[in-house]
Amino acid sequence: MRVDYHSHILPFIDDGAQSVEESIAVLRQSRLQGVELILATPHFYIEDVQSVHKFLHIRKHAYKKLQAALSAESPDEVPQILLGAEVLLTPEIPYLEDLEKLCIEGTNLILLELPFQPWSEWVYRALFYIISERNLQPIIAHLDRYISINKNNLHYILSMEVYIQINADSICNYFLFRQIKKWYRDGIPLLIGSDVHNCTSRQTYFGKATKKILRAFGPDFFQRTENIGAILSEACKCKNKC
Ligand SMILES: [Fe+2]
């Protein structure tokens, strides 16, 4: 199953889709580019939203609106959707009440965005705490976006028990792809996310990226992350049954 691990497709909730129509257009475009399952991961900024409960309430409302409109669509024209969040890691996040409710639904996978500044000790401690004390499985969002500011710190993250997500548009970038190829050759399983926000300025490059990956590495690239795909398949089955 082709999974887009990172997207902003829910309407009205963050800087992603700004209407239900835009959400549907992005979903259709994603499906045309081969996406079968998309993780809807709106930004979770604790400073803005204040609590997990409030965020879930807003997300539920956005998803309901989208679902109502999607019922008129042919199901094979859009990918399946699992809800999650892109949680900005701040010092309080590891101790946040109900943090597990921000995981991708039906799993213990949590998409974490790291700070866009040079990382210090607290970042690694926070990740370690989330893994060992909260028993969650972090997916680090778009590691490729930290190359310029944290080049010398990336190996700390790569040595932890985390999954790494890379952005599709970075795969299409010659210089960033050189680094991504190196990670892959070092044996690191990589998850592709579009980080799509709309159909124009931050559109999905999932199809282009997938083609480039298949040309460079063949299907082995995706086989390396089959275990996580299976977890998500199970979560979809469970969601459809309920
Ligand atoms: Fe994002």
Q: What pLDDT score was predicted for residue 28?
A: 96
- How do residues 31-43 score in pLDDT, each as one tens digit? 999 999 999 999 9
- How close is the Cα of 86 to the center of ligand 1, in Å? 6
- How close is the Cα of 83 to the center of ligand 1, in Å? 14
Residue 110: alpha-carbon gap to chain centroid: 9
- How close is the Cα of 171 to the center of ligand 1, in Å? 16
- How close is the Cα of 41 to the center of ligand 1, in Å? 7
Q: Which helix (H) or strand (E) holds 91?
A: none
217 exposure class (CB count in 10 Å sphere: 0-12, 13-18, 19+):
middle
Q: What pLDDT score was predicted for residue 50?
A: 83
- How close is the Cα of 72 to the center of ligand 1, in Å? 28
Per-residue pLDDT of the chain (242 residues; tens, 9 = 90+): 999 999 999 999 999 999 999 999 999 999 999 999 999 999 999 999 889 999 999 999 999 999 999 988 777 899 999 999 999 999 999 999 999 999 999 999 999 999 999 999 999 999 999 999 999 999 999 999 999 999 899 999 999 999 999 999 999 999 999 999 999 999 999 999 999 999 999 999 999 999 999 999 999 999 999 999 999 999 999 998 87
Give the contacts of 35 (CB within 8 A, at least 6 positions apart): 2, 3, 4, 79, 194, 204, 206
pTM assigned to the model? 0.96
- How close is the Cα of 18 to the center of ligand 1, in Å? 15
Q: What pLDDT score was predicted for residue 72?
A: 80
- How close is the Cα of 142 to the center of ligand 1, in Å? 8
The secondary structure of 119-149, three-state, reads CCHHHHHHHHHHHHCCCCEEEECCHHHHHHH
Tokens of 146: 């930290």
Q: Does domain 3-241 have CATH number 2.40.37.10?
A: no
Rounded CA-CA distance 147/129 in Å is: 24
Which of 53, 49, 54, 106 lies closest to 83 in space, CA to CA? 106
**Residue linked to tokens 């597990």:** 100
Q: What pLDDT score was predicted for residue 74?
A: 79
- How close is the Cα of 115 to the center of ligand 1, in Å? 13
- How close is the Cα of 87 to the center of ligand 1, in Å? 9
- How close is the Cα of 58 to the center of ligand 1, in Å? 17
- How close is the Cα of 89 to the center of ligand 1, in Å? 13
- DSSP, res 39: E
- How close is the Cα of 241 to the center of ligand 1, in Å? 29
Which of 34, 46, 31, 39 lies closest to 165 in space, CA to CA? 39
Q: What pLDDT score was predicted for residue 179?
A: 93
- How close is the Cα of 15 to the center of ligand 1, in Å? 9
Instruction: Tell me whether strands 137-140 and 37-40 are parallel, antiparallel or unpaired.
Output: unpaired
Rounded CA-CA distance 219/199 in Å is: 28
Q: What pLDDT score was predicted for residue 228?
A: 96
